[in-house]
Amino acid sequence: MRALLHLACLLPLAGWIWGIWQDRLGANPAEALLHGTGLWTLRLLCLTLAITPLRQWAGLTGLAGWRRPLGLYTFFYALLHFLAYAWLDMGLDAAALWQDLGQRPFALLGFLAFLGLLPLAATSWPGAVRRLGAARWQSLHRLVHAVALLGLLHFVWMRAAKNRADEVLVYALLLAGLALARWAWRRRRKSRALPAPP
């Protein structure tokens, strides 16, 4: 199953490489790569966030080991997305990149989401839990929820500018549902922990 997970996560990258090789990325390959890497970042982020609710509510404890690789693939595609933006859109011109971030708020939101993923990826190895301590590590990795919100806003703003706001509805509902499932689980645990009334 772990091998199938890696294969599934690498299929989009293989498709783009094949598309570049065969010149099948359409009239604007740069836009296809930029949009594709961003979309797969959001999809993998949703899958990563779905692991804990599925484990808690459905009892699928075996999924716990999938969270780390899914999180790292999320960062990998976010890195590809940023590189596609910085290279294909901005020509690796740092001055133009910073100017663009200041002029286009949706680009700034995406960049902030990418920066938020950096410490999560850097502390995803098992030894990081021992070095930081479990409580601090968990507090740091709660940053993923802020990253998800920034990423969703980045996507909403970008697609709304092109009159495609309906495209993000599925992702908005999915992330809202996952957040609700986490909140409901915490409420359930707290209610069970309360002492019975006399």
The C-alpha atoms of residue 22 and residue 20 are separated, in whole angstroms, by: 5
> Is the Cβ–Cβ distance between 55 and 70 less than 8 Å?
no
Better-predicted residue by pLDDT, 164 or 8: 8
149-187 pLDDT, tens digit per residue, is: 999 999 988 877 666 667 788 899 999 999 999 999 888
The C-alpha atoms of residue 197 and residue 135 are separated, in whole angstroms, by: 31
SS3 state at 163: coil
- Domain positions in the chain are 2-189
pTM of the entire predicted model: 0.91
Place of tokens 């780390």: 68
